[in-house]
A = this chain, B = another copy of it.
Amino acid sequence: MSDEKEKVELEEEGLLASLSSHNMDEFREVFLEQHPYDQAKFFSKLEEEERFIVYSYLSPEEMASVFENIEDDDDRYKIFLSEMDPTFAAQMLSHMYADDAVDVLNELDKDQAASYLTIMDDDAAEEIRELLHYEEYTAGSIMTTEYIAIHANQTVHSAMQILKNEAPNAETIYYVFVIDEAKKLVGVISLRDLIINEPDTMISEVMNERVYSVSVAEDQEEVARKMKDYNFLALPVVDFRGHLLGIITVDDIVDVIDEEASDDYSKLAGIADVDSNDRGPFTAAKKRLPWLIILLFLGMFTASLIGRFEATLDKVAILAVFIPLIAGMAGNTGTQALAVAVRRIAVGDAEEHSSIKLLLKEAGTGLITGTVCGIVVTIVIFVWKGELFLGMLVGISILATLTVATIAGALIPLIMHRLKVDPAVASGPFITTINDIISILIYFGMATLFMQYLI
């Protein structure tokens, strides 16, 4: 594979050379041999003038397969499209797989998208229009209408004929879906089964009537889970009456799984999108500042809470020494509980009874970890400072804080999930700050109550 990588890098140099020497034949010969992913990577690195040459060297169809594989910031699609001749762009869009074309058009202004659809050929435009109105992150938004459908009263042979004809345009030919006259989905047969069976067998005899499908409005994360669990290569998408609308292929699902994971990860770290954080420092700062400013004000609130205990602090300054320890432990345990809860919600296990079970379990976990850490800290402070009472105060604060913080870490995402807010938003930094506040109230509250023993 590293050979292949080196080869691609060598070829890229050659391609750049043939662009600058305007040698179209040489460019096409090397470029069209490359995998579309490598083509797209090469294209993304080019300067504007070089891109103009590429547009003139490739047909709209060839450009379409490059465009399908661009993994770039969304606003760059816009730039590329605006550089192309509009007719060329429209032709390219109509040659793309409909779901990929929709992704591109979704990034444009409405009137721009409409103008491309107008000059596009009618069939392609219609297919794209159908897909354009599905909401983002639903099955409808990632499905394609380029599937192969057959009828149950055909033979295997005639089904294979259809396959041969449609293979060049269909996104996958490895699953063939069986529909009735009303376009209702009634079965599925894999190409593997078509090949194994005799040509004159009827489809109705060999098809699998137990066909798994997803509803067009289903969340893409749910679709990904189904595909992963059942190891499908394609899943049919149906409307509420069971009519076949499109299919979702495994390659799109691989991207969904990757995106969703990166999304949860970003939110746990308190960044909008961890993967787009690699432009300049100004862009990165702009993306991170909103969170930091919110947390700054939450932190000021925490500070004002401690401020209320200034009298206590004035008398027993050593109390301040343990603030970061207690707040830190609360933050850590809260993040652990949060991560478990968010993950549980993500794998679809958040029914009412299992939520309550989760909370009880987290309460128990918090109590156990709190007791252990509380005892350890009491002993350490006693040995280190020789102060049993201070040790007990910190120890009991840790016990109470860890219990409450663990429950809060699980409770908050569960509540947000019930309120239909993405629970991952309630993530790392947010839960940490909430738990700062909880821990400080507990710690200073207890210290003020038992002041007489401390002085």
Residues of B near A293 (CB, < 8 A) are 372-373, 376
Interfacial chain B residues near A282, Cβ < 8 Å: 364, 368
Contact B433 A328 (CB under 8 A): yes
With A174-B174, A274-B339, A339-B274 as known contacts, state yes or no: A292 contacts B250, CB within 8 Å. Answer: no
Please give the distance in Å from A444's CB to the nearest CB on chain B: 10
Q: A320 and B328: CB pair below 8 A?
A: no
Assess whether B324 is in contact with A299, with CB atoms less than 8 Å apart: yes
Q: In whole angstroms, how far apart are the Cα atoms of A382 and B325 in the complex? A: 28
Q: Cβ of A160 < 8 Å from any Cβ of B?
A: yes
Q: Copies of this chain, how many?
A: 2
* Interface contact A196-B168, CB-CB below 8 Å: yes
Which among B261, B278, B321 is the interface contact of A306 at CB below 8 angstroms? B321
Whether a CB of chain B sits under 8 angstroms from the CB of A295 is yes
CB < 8 Å neighbour of A269 from B307, B314, B338:
B338
A415 proximal to B (CB < 8 A): no
Q: Which residues of B contact A228 (CB under 8 A)?
A: 254-255, 258
Is there contact, CB below 8 Å, between A281 and B368?
yes
Q: How far is the CA of A325 from the CA of B301 in the complex (A)?
A: 9
- Report whether A310 and B321 are in contact in the complex, using a CB–CB cutoff of 8 Å: yes
Are the CB atoms of B377 and A300 closer together than 8 Å?
A: yes
Q: How many residues belonging to A are interface residues under a CB distance threshold of 8 Å? A: 119
- Given known pairs A303-B321, A324-B440, the reply for A210 and B269 (CB within 8 Å) is no
Is A302 located at the chain interface by the 8 A CB criterion? yes
Residues of B within 8 A of A195 (CB): 160, 163-164, 167, 173
Interface flag for A28 (CB, 8 Å): no
Residues from 248 to 269 in A contacting B, C-beta threshold 8 Å: 250-251, 253-255, 257-258, 261-262, 264-266, 268-269
State whether A336 touches B254 (Cβ < 8 A). Answer: no
Selected contact of A365 from candidates B35, B192, B262, B281, CB within 8 Å: B281
Rounded to whole Å, the gap between the CB of A439 and the closest CB of chain B is: 9
Distance of A385 Cα from B325 Cα, bound (Å) = 26
Q: A173-B192, A269-B339 are in contact. List 13 more A-B contacts (CB 8 A).
A: A35-B212, A164-B195, A254-B254, A275-B343, A275-B347, A284-B340, A284-B364, A285-B372, A313-B317, A320-B323, A324-B327, A324-B436, A428-B428
Residue contacts A-B, CB under 8 angstroms, 14 given: A250-B254, A253-B254, A268-B269, A275-B347, A280-B361, A281-B367, A281-B368, A282-B368, A285-B365, A306-B320, A313-B320, A317-B317, A320-B320, A323-B324
